Structure 1
Amino acid sequence: MNQTVDSRKYYPTALVLYITYFVLGITASIMGQYKQDFAAMWDAAVLTDGSYDVSGVVAVIAAIGLGWLIAFPVAGPLSDRLGRRLSALVGYALYAVFLLAVTFSPNLYVGYALAIVSGMANSFLDTSITPSCMEIFKEKGTIANIFTGLSISIARFLLPFVISFVAVRKLPFRTIFLATAALIIVDGVFLAFLPFPSFEWTVKAKDAPKERMQFTTSAVVLVCLGFTTSTTFMLWINCNQELGALYGLTDPSRIQSFYSVGIVLALFASATLLKRNVEPAKTLVAYPTVALATLVAIYLVQEPVMCLAGSFLLGFFAAGGVLQLGTAVANEMFPKKRGVITPVVMIASSVANYLVVSVAGVLTRIGGIESPQLVLLFNMAVMLNGILLALYLNVSLKRERPGAVEAAAAMEAQR
């Protein structure tokens, strides 16, 4: 009881951390919304339909994943050894640099370097925010972690409206970048003074014996699923604008809003499933299966309404808490190494960000105006592999530790 009362003093800290994920939601997709503007700024070639070749911009977006990978060896240990606050503040500083500078970058190469800085910021924040939320809401840690996705989804839902607001008033496209930079700076100032759970309170890090991180087959497969579960929504949020235009959608930015609504509803659904003791591993099969069917439907039914309906379904079944749920389960496997296991699980997500978005850039360059359909086919292939991995995960979990992971998540939901 005292622990519950004591944890309440950290609620303002949790609020600031969730606001941080709101900013992260903007930064993760804003370059994808302004690809034409960046392509024009970086003197890209003009295609036959009068638009700019955005393959270079897609390559820059992919560099965010590379930055995540570069920071990974430092960010996790820093968070576990020197504290969540320091890791978060480093992330804030790097994000501020990216947001303030990227729209003034003189060429694609400077933009690429700044995208790496953005990815590094993401890494430092991931290794701070996810463990912090689970340590603050330890009785509901799994659900608390899922709802970090809610902050991201709200940002992505509001972003198209903000873009329209800026466009109607003929403000420069860098307006949103600068405003977001101001928000992350203010957020960082608050976090510098707010309390964090101490390591003695959470783990007794100095007195506890060293925990050896032994990866079972299930843990390895779970890490691999970080790649496939991330691929669908990463490709979608970065390439949907061109697909919508190809299918005749007059306002492609609406796709983002439908996608975000799907995510928000899915997050509540995922929390409900946890409370009802639905096995998380089974969700990792069911959701990607529906997502794959949705991609097939979007490819075959080339209509504007299919883009909007499909975006909603992809938001629900491809991005609505699946990755967060997998990360939370991994945190339960290694409670004394949360700052390390979080990036270990999500490193595959960053590899996906870099590799698959880079491939999308190549497909965009060779496919021209028809490239969005090539990206869809590529997305389907990766998603199919993810479903096979998830099926294997269910089998291996039962063989290694029958019901252990699912029971841990269920117990968290019941407390």
Structure 2
Amino acid sequence: MGENIRMAASLYINYILLGMINLIIALHMGFLTVQFDTDAAAISMLISAIGIGKLFGLSFAGKLSDSLGRKPMVITAGILYVIFLIAVPFSPTYGIAFAFALLAGMGNSILDTSTYPALIEGFPKRASSATVLVKAFMSIGATILPLMITFFIAKELFYGYTFFIMAFVFLINAVHLTTVKFPKANMVVVEPGTDNNGENKKKAEPHFAVKPRFWREGVTVIFIGFTSVSLFMIIQTWMATFAEEIIGMDESTAINLLSYYSFGGFITVILLATMLDRVFRPVTILILYPLIAIAALSALLFVTNYYVLVVIAFILGLCTSGLFQLAVTLMAEFFPGRKGTSTAFVTLSSSIAFIVIPSLTGLINRHIGVTYIFLFEIAVAVVAMALAVFVSVRYRKIFNITTRKRVLWRNP
């Protein structure tokens, strides 16, 4: 168990940094538009490039994670991020920066398809808690980054220092991971009656009352993955812009709203990690959180008071964080035999969101206005809630919840 905790600590450090990377392009939009002599819509396409890279990486990342193991893939992802973080501030042209953003997207796919299965295998009895903590550490990173940026702005220092600090931590953590032991990928159990050599083994599977189907449950969870990423991605990318253009805040104050948003995300995933396997049914969270988001987003469109906006940002952080991690764990529970591959399918949805959402919202901002981006987000939240209602009904049938009293997320 001690070695698993050491592994988890290093994996969570990577996700602190990933939480910063998810914001780093959007929060440096002003610097990058000057560096590449372009506009905000073009810089948002750099975020889309990360999604394109993720999509390409998914063609091999899940399979390699299952065949080569989690450890070498996690280390590879860290090295790819080091290259990205060092290269972007020195990129002389937009095209070169775009290419390195593609590389970062590949690293994201490799990291997701190796980290989530490793956590599920390392902590099988608390898999949902272990995976949702990923979002907690991403929220820590997303809280730290705006503070770093405002510090460098105040000191009039080169914006690239933020990138270089993150690259250094990624590199140190990758070196440390070479000394860490990971659990065996897709662990097996010995069936009763087998000999001591364990010749008759098969992968552990829950007892399904109705066998889950990929075209039904699998596809639904994939769409939940898409909507969950879309919800937090729109806020992270455009809340600061909305606060500046519509409400009239200065740049530093607008950016700091994202710290409150990220702090809300951190609080909610700590609560989820503590209570998921004991009190709450995660599918209920997948229904409830988008409903709260709809209310908070509606209020955002009509409020101009700074302190009320802080509260709204915090609530949005509470109700849009951890949903993707719940989708990943749910997919692994429906299809437990190949966790790396099943994780890759949900990660596929996030890569599509990384491609589609920045491009689409960038166009909305360019041709209609930033307010309509948040109207679009309300529509996404409605779809997310409807998908969660459907998968909740299917989950109850598959695991026969109507006749067996147990926590929804717990393995039968």
TM (norm. structure 2) is 0.89
Residue matched to 1:353: 354
- Higher mean alpha-carbon deviation, 158-167 vs 16-25, is at 158-167
**1:143 is matched with which residue: 129, 136, 155?**
129
- Give 1:81's aligned amino acid: S
- Higher mean alpha-carbon deviation, 17-26 vs 193-202, is at 193-202
CA RMSD between the two structures = 2.5
**2:62 is matched with which residue: 71, 76, 80?**
76
Residue matched to 1:243: 242
Whether 1:19 aligns to 2:13 is yes
**Which whole-Å CA distance do the structure 1 matches of 2:353 and 2:98 have between them?**
17
Deviations 1:182-227 (A, max 9, x none): 1111111111221111348567899755899942623321111111
Alignment of 1:388-403 (within 5 A): 388-403=386-401
- Give 2:377's aligned amino acid: N
Deviations 1:215-272 (A, max 9, x none): 2623321111111111111011011121111212231111111011111111122234
Is contact 2:290-2:320 (8 Å) kept?
yes
| Structure 1 runs, 4 residues or longer, greater than 6 Å off | 203-207, 210-213
**Which whole-Å CA distance do the structure 2 matches of 1:200 and 1:119 have between them?**
25
Post-superposition shift, 1:107? 2.1
**Which whole-Å CA distance do the structure 2 matches of 1:168 and 1:295 have between them?**
31
Q: Helix, strand or coil for the counterpart of 1:63?
A: helix
Deviations 1:359-378 (A, max 9, x none): 011122224xxx22121111
Residue matched to 1:215: 214
- Higher mean alpha-carbon deviation, 400-409 vs 214-223, is at 400-409
Q: Helix, strand or coil for the counterpart of 1:77?
A: helix
- Tell me the number of residue pairs that the alignment of Structure 1 and Structure 2 aligns: 395
Judging changes above 3 Å, is the alpha-carbon distance between structure 1 residues 260 and 175 closer, same or farther for their aligned structure 2 residues?
Answer: same
**Which whole-Å CA distance do the structure 2 matches of 1:410 and 1:234 have between them?**
26
Alignment of 1:300-319 (within 5 A): 300-319=302-321
Residue matched to 2:299: 297
**1:182 is matched with which residue: 159, 168, 188?**
168
Q: Percent identity over the alignment? A: 29
Residue matched to 1:324: 325
Is contact 1:102-1:111 (8 Å) kept?
yes
Whether 1:256 aligns to 2:258 is yes
Residue matched to 2:85: 99
Residue matched to 1:381: 379
Is contact 2:71-2:182 (8 Å) kept?
yes
Give the unaligned 5+ runs of structure 1: 1-6, 45-52
Is contact 2:189-2:202 (8 Å) kept?
no
Relative to its length, the structure with more helix (as a share) is 1
Is contact 1:279-1:406 (8 Å) kept?
no
- Give 1:8's aligned amino acid: G
Residue matched to 1:35: 29
- Give 1:318's aligned amino acid: T
Residue matched to 1:4: none
Judging changes above 3 Å, is the alpha-carbon distance between structure 1 residues 123 and 213 closer, same or farther for their aligned structure 2 residues?
Answer: farther
Is contact 1:56-1:108 (8 Å) kept?
no
Judging changes above 3 Å, is the alpha-carbon distance between structure 1 residues 35 and 331 closer, same or farther for their aligned structure 2 residues?
Answer: same
Whether 1:163 aligns to 2:162 is no
TM (norm. structure 1) is 0.89
**Which whole-Å CA distance do the structure 1 matches of 2:397 and 2:116 have between them?**
29
Residue matched to 2:194: none
- Give 1:372's aligned amino acid: V
- Give 1:385's aligned amino acid: V
- Higher mean alpha-carbon deviation, 213-222 vs 61-70, is at 213-222
Is contact 1:98-1:115 (8 Å) kept?
yes
Is contact 1:274-1:409 (8 Å) kept?
no
Residue matched to 1:113: 99
**Which whole-Å CA distance do the structure 1 matches of 2:278 and 2:292 have between them?**
21
**Which whole-Å CA distance do the structure 2 matches of 1:357 and 1:203 have between them?**
44
**Which whole-Å CA distance do the structure 1 matches of 2:342 and 2:217 have between them?**
14
Give the unaligned 5+ runs of structure 2: 191-197, 206-210
